[in-house]
Amino acid sequence: MSAMGELPDLYPGFAERRIDTAAGIAIYLRTGGSGPPLLLLHGYPQTHVIWHKMAPELARHRTLVIPDLRGYGRSSAPMGDEAHQLYSKRAMAEDCLTLMRALGYPRFMVAGHDRGGRVAYRLALDHPEAVAALVPVDIIPTAEVWRRITAVSAVRGYHWQFLAQPFPLPESLIGKDSDYYLEHTLRSWAGPRDLTPFSPEAMAHYRALMHDPARVHAFCEDYRAGAGIDRALDEADLAAGRRIACPALVLHGSHLPTGPAGTPLDIWRGWCSNVSAVTVDAGHFLAEENPQDTLAALVPFLEANAGAV
């Protein structure tokens, strides 16, 4: 058994499922609530449990589908391939499309935090017929990150370069003290610069993720894909003039640094035909740092676009 083992249940009353997608990948997910479907995607270095503080309220408005991304949590974590396509956001988006269709939802809304936000906007670009509304949480597109690297951002966002280093360098270094690496990362990106936003139960899930070498390898592959195929796909879409057609709401924390490139909304306007933004008083982890204000921003957008599902 992997290091994920027995962990606290943060979604009491939600169903628990595994759905097989392409090439033998099994996606673990929780489902609950009622109403139009909303797919909720987590980021790094976390799992599906990031939404647990918001899920009870969201379940009053939507049927929630909350998976672990390929390579994370309890989902399959295959060894990466030479081109890193197994962990491209296109492949992860295909997983999401397969599981939503398997659940009977050919069209749905999607909100994604961090890496999950990158899967979400790739899903909207590749499968516009399926995505009724998009909510990227505290990110800008991958190509834009690489285009805007400066000395300051390279130091602040060192993990983009570090995790993309060839196997097995980052895996080996993280494995020497995975708890330290996890806690340093969470503290560095959280608004209060400590672990207070994260419940002990959620931390148990995140520590288990870091204790499993297969999943450490998976998220390194996720970032290797970000430096290669994901960036290339983004650049190809930009060059072809493709835009995200569905309504989009960009949520970002008030601690997100902005510079000469402009605000997150300024950047997303170059990618979306219909986009707005809301700033939430938080660091990077909006759903855990400030679930009340995140809900206050998200729910009206979901209601306004409910007819599109």
**Cβ atoms within 10 Å, residue 177:** 12
Q: Which residues of 225-256 are buried (b: 16+ CB within 10 A; e: fewer)?
A: bbbebbbebbeebbeeeebbebbbbbbbbebb
* 114: annotated active-site residue: yes
Written as one string, the DSSP assignment of 140-162 is: --HHHHHHT--HHHHHHTHHHHH
C-alpha–C-alpha distance, residues 31 and 290, integer Å: 23
Tell me if 284 sits within 8 A of 258, measured CB to CB.
no
Tokens describing residue 110: 């999607």
Crossing angle for the helix pair 169-176 and 213-227, to the nearest 10 degrees: 140
* 252: annotated active-site residue: no
C-alpha–C-alpha distance, residues 120 and 114, integer Å: 10
Identify the H or E element spanning 251: strand 248-253
Tell me if 285 sits within 8 A of 190, measured CB to CB.
yes
Tokens describing residue 23: 């090439």
Question: Which distant-in-sequence residues (6+ apart) come within 8 Å of 100 by Cβ?
Answer: 37, 39, 65, 106, 108, 130
Handedness of CA 184, 186, 192, 196 (dihedral sign): negative
Active-site residue (options: 114, 138, 212, 222): 114
Strand partners, 26: 20
The residues carrying an active-site annotation are 114, 284
